[in-house]
Amino acid sequence: MKGMQQDSPAALVLKAGRITTGLLVIGLVLTVLLGNYLLNFYPKMAGGIRAGLLLFLVWLFVMSTVRSLNRLDSEVPGSWLILSGLLVGGGGALGAFLILQVYTWLKAIDLDQAFSIGNVLFFAALGLVIALISTINLRVKNRLLGNLLEILVFGAIAAGLFFWMSK
């Protein structure tokens, strides 16, 4: 922390980043070391753990993409940031299918149900939502307006799910 005061905002952000990174590394190491034991001991948790890891990875990749594009050129229109999140979410699902397909060809295991257009659409929509929230956080300077826009996004999702489920 050369050149930074101990209590400066930059020093606090650096400390928080180090703590977060450390916690993620510890969690990853524990998952690798204890994952098989826990899955054998609690087989019903396997689907939940898989879903949690997939959602975390989608969030990580979409947020990283949107933030990287914004840092590369702060004049990029917000619509391009949102489109990039949509493409990363959908492209990630297609990429996962291709990797699994190559794996099945190499291992001669049948994974016909690994790919479905529903998976691609779900992760593309998830990428869209994450990109919307990221773009709001990056571009809207007024905190109250940003929070209101985030609430509107989640409200629209809830309303859409309600109407879709009621059909």
Using CA atoms, how far residue 142 sits from 137, 138, 151, in Å, is: 10, 11, 14
**Nearest residue to 80 (alpha-carbon basis) of 120, 134, 1, 15:** 134
Report the alpha-carbon distance of residue 104 to residue 124 in Å, rounded: 24
Q: Report the b/e string of 123-149 with b at 16+ CB within 10 A.
A: bbebbbbbbbbbbbbbebeeeeebeeb
Model pLDDT for residues 51-72, shown as the tens digit of each residue? 777 787 788 888 888 888 888 8
- pLDDT at position 25 is 77
Report the alpha-carbon distance of residue 77 to residue 89 in Å, rounded: 19
Q: Work out the percent of the chain whose per-residue pLDDT is above 90.
A: 3
Could you tell me the pTM of the whole model? 0.53
- pLDDT at position 152 is 92
Q: Which amino acid is at 144?
A: L
Report the alpha-carbon distance of residue 26 to residue 20 in Å, rounded: 10
**Nearest residue to 134 (alpha-carbon basis) of 52, 68, 57:** 68
Mean pLDDT of 19-44: 72
- pLDDT at position 120 is 76
Model pLDDT for residues 122-155, shown as the tens digit of each residue? 888 888 888 888 888 888 889 899 889 999 999 9
